[in-house]
Amino acid sequence: MAPVPDVFDRGASVRLNETEYQVFINQQMVAATEQPPSPEGHEIEAFLPLVQNAVISRQMTEAVPEDKMLQVLEEDPPETVDTEMITFALEARIPGQRNQGPAGDNRMKEVVPHFRSSIDHPEHPGEKLVTMGKLYDNWLNFYIYARTNKVAMARLIWFEKVMDGFKWYFGRNGFKVYEEGCTIGRQRLEIDGITVTRYPVSYLVRTDDTFHYAEQELKYLLLNVNVQEE
């Protein structure tokens, strides 16, 4: 995945001031809400590469040498901690809530898939390809590791700014991201014989997991169910 341009790049040939930057962000977020559902869905597995890409892009903005770049890894805890590291873990995943009435009223979990879209089947003329989707609320923890408390705190704040700065990027890729914050506090761990500091920071990420079926497949399924019941 190619690094996404960091629009807050102070070293870019065309710089954005604070107002221009906010206008850009607003435009991207509006475009994200107006875009049609992705035929591939927005499963949570696709979110981590976006975060990794944002972290790399911000470090490129800051002119960090490639061999010194901070890594975002999926395994926690890491086997070793050289200087700093960020890891990722899915803590909870439940069907998303959706409104059935006025805002704030009649909220219910989307426990079954719902219709998303219907298009002409690309391979079978005259047939429709139906997309169904199911919302999920995913609670993710990112763990900030460093040798000292001071460095870990600074990196935690840096990471929060990256997540805020690239929220438009996540939105354009179909993910709604809400920070839950650092609610657990500092932890001291021993890894590979070395005592390190770890700060967890939590995010709620809304995804829309989709699947597809053709009309003929549904008819075949229903026919077989009827035959078995007779």
Percent of the chain with pLDDT strictly greater than 70:
58
Give residue 215's domain range.
18-229
Residue, of 93 and 19, whose pLDDT is higher: 93
| Residue 3 falls inside a structural domain | no
Tell me the per-residue pLDDT of 98-123, one tens digit each, with 9 for 90 and over.
Answer: 654 444 444 566 666 666 666 676 66
**Confidence band (pLDDT; 50, 70, 90) for 172?**
confident
| Residue 1 falls inside a structural domain | no
Give the integer Cα–Cα distance in Å for 39 and 122: 12
Which of the residue ranges 19-28, 196-205, 208-217 has the most confident prediction, judged by mean pLDDT? 196-205
| Residue 106 falls inside a structural domain | yes
User: Which uninterrupted H or E stretch holds 201?
Assistant: strand 194-214
Q: Where does 74-127 show beta strands of DSSP type E? A: 84-95, 97-99, 107-109, 114-120
| Residue 8 falls inside a structural domain | no
| Residue 136 falls inside a structural domain | yes
CA angle 153, 160, 44 (to 5 degrees): 125
Residue, of 19 and 114, whose pLDDT is higher: 19
Tell me the per-residue pLDDT of 34-50, one tens digit each, with 9 for 90 and over.
Answer: 554 444 457 888 899 99
Task: Give me the number of domains the chain comprises.
Answer: 1
User: Which uninterrupted H or E stretch holds 73?
Assistant: strand 72-73
- pLDDT at res. 158: 96
| Residue 98 falls inside a structural domain | yes
